[in-house]
Structure 1
Amino acid sequence: MNIEKIEVAFGLLIENIESLQAELSTDFYDAFVEQNAIYLGAMTSNEAVKANNDKLREAGLSPLEWQKLFQYVLLKGSQLAPMQANHALTPDSIGLIFNFMIESLMKKSDIRIIEFGSGTGNLAETLLVNLQKTVDYLGFEIDDLLLDLAASMSEIIGTKADFMQLDAVQPQVLEKADVVISDLPLGYYPDQTTASHFTVGNPDGPTYAQHLLMEQSFKYLKDKGLGIYLAPENLLNSEQAPLLKAWLKKQARVVAVITLPSSLFKGESKAIYLLEKGQSDQPTFVYPLGSLTEPESLKAFMAEFSKQVKL
Structure 2
Amino acid sequence: MKDTHMERLFTYLNETALYLEENWTVTYLEGLAEAGENLFRQEICQPLEDKQKRILEEKLASVSKVEYEVEDIRKAFQLTVLKGMKGAVQPHHSMTPDAVALFLSYLVNKVLGKREETATILDLAVGSGNLISALLNHATVPLHARGFEVDETLLKLAFVSANLQQHELELFHQDSVEPLAFPEVDLVVTDLPVGFYPKDDVAANYLLKADEGHSYLHHLMIEQAIEKTKDSGFLLFVVPNFLFESDQAKQLHEYVKEHANILGLLQLPKTMFQSEQFGKSIFMLQKKGDGVRQPKQALLAELPSFSKKEALADMIQQMNKWFDQELGI
- TM-based fold match above 0.5: yes
Match of 1:216 in 2: 224
Is residue 74 of structure 1 aligned with residue 88 of structure 2?
no
Asked if structure 1 preserves the Cα contact closer than 8 Å seen for 2:96 and 2:130, the reply is: yes
2:243 partner SS: coil
For residues 84 and 299 of structure 1, what CA distance do their matches in structure 2 show?
36
Match of 2:186 in 1: 178
- Could you list the runs of 5+ residues in structure 2 that have no partner in the other structure? none
The farther-off stretch of 86-95 and 260-269 is 260-269
For residues 295 and 67 of structure 2, what CA distance do their matches in structure 1 show?
51
1:149 to 151, 157, 168: 157
TM-superposed deviation, 1:3: 6.9
TM-superposed deviation, 1:149: 1.1
For residues 105 and 163 of structure 1, what CA distance do their matches in structure 2 show?
24
Match of 2:300 in 1: 286
Asked if structure 1 preserves the Cα contact closer than 8 Å seen for 2:263 and 2:295, the reply is: no
For residues 90 and 83 of structure 1, what CA distance do their matches in structure 2 show?
17
Asked if structure 2 preserves the Cα contact closer than 8 Å seen for 1:67 and 1:125, the reply is: yes
* RMSD, matched Cα: 1.7
Letter of the aligned partner of 1:105 in structure 2?
Answer: V
1:95 to 91, 96, 101: 101
The one-character-per-residue Cα deviations of 1:25-51 (angstroms, maximum 9, x if unpaired) are 421111111112222234354212212
User: Is the alpha carbon distance of 1:281 and 1:126 closer, same or farther for their aligned partners in structure 2, counting shifts above 3 Å?
Assistant: closer
For residues 43 and 167 of structure 1, what CA distance do their matches in structure 2 show?
28
For residues 54 and 307 of structure 2, what CA distance do their matches in structure 1 show?
41
For residues 241 and 34 of structure 1, what CA distance do their matches in structure 2 show?
42
Letter of the aligned partner of 2:110 in structure 1?
Answer: S
TM (normalized to structure 2)?
A: 0.89
For residues 171 and 31 of structure 1, what CA distance do their matches in structure 2 show?
32
Q: List aligned pairs for 1:266-277, cutoff 5 A.
A: 266-267=274-275, 268-277=278-287
TM-superposed deviation, 1:281: 5.2
TM (normalized to structure 1)?
A: 0.94
Match of 1:118 in 2: 126
Letter of the aligned partner of 2:284 in structure 1?
Answer: L
For residues 177 and 20 of structure 1, what CA distance do their matches in structure 2 show?
39
2:241 to 221, 233, 243: 233
Among the aligned pairs, what percent are the same residue? 24
Asked if structure 2 preserves the Cα contact closer than 8 Å seen for 1:196 and 1:203, the reply is: no
User: Is the alpha carbon distance of 1:3 and 1:220 closer, same or farther for their aligned partners in structure 2, counting shifts above 3 Å?
Assistant: farther
Match of 1:13 in 2: 13
For residues 19 and 108 of structure 2, what CA distance do their matches in structure 1 show?
40
For residues 82 and 197 of structure 2, what CA distance do their matches in structure 1 show?
28
1:249 to 257, 269, 276: 257
Match of 1:299 in 2: 313
- Could you list the runs of 5+ residues in structure 1 that have no partner in the other structure? none
For residues 202 and 45 of structure 2, what CA distance do their matches in structure 1 show?
44
Letter of the aligned partner of 2:28 in structure 1?
Answer: F
Q: List aligned pairs for 1:31-110, cutoff 5 A.
A: 31-41=31-41, 42-44=44-46, 45=50, 46-79=53-86, 81-107=87-113, 108-109=115-116, 110=118
Aligned residues: 309
User: Is the alpha carbon distance of 1:83 and 1:58 closer, same or farther for their aligned partners in structure 2, counting shifts above 3 Å?
Assistant: farther
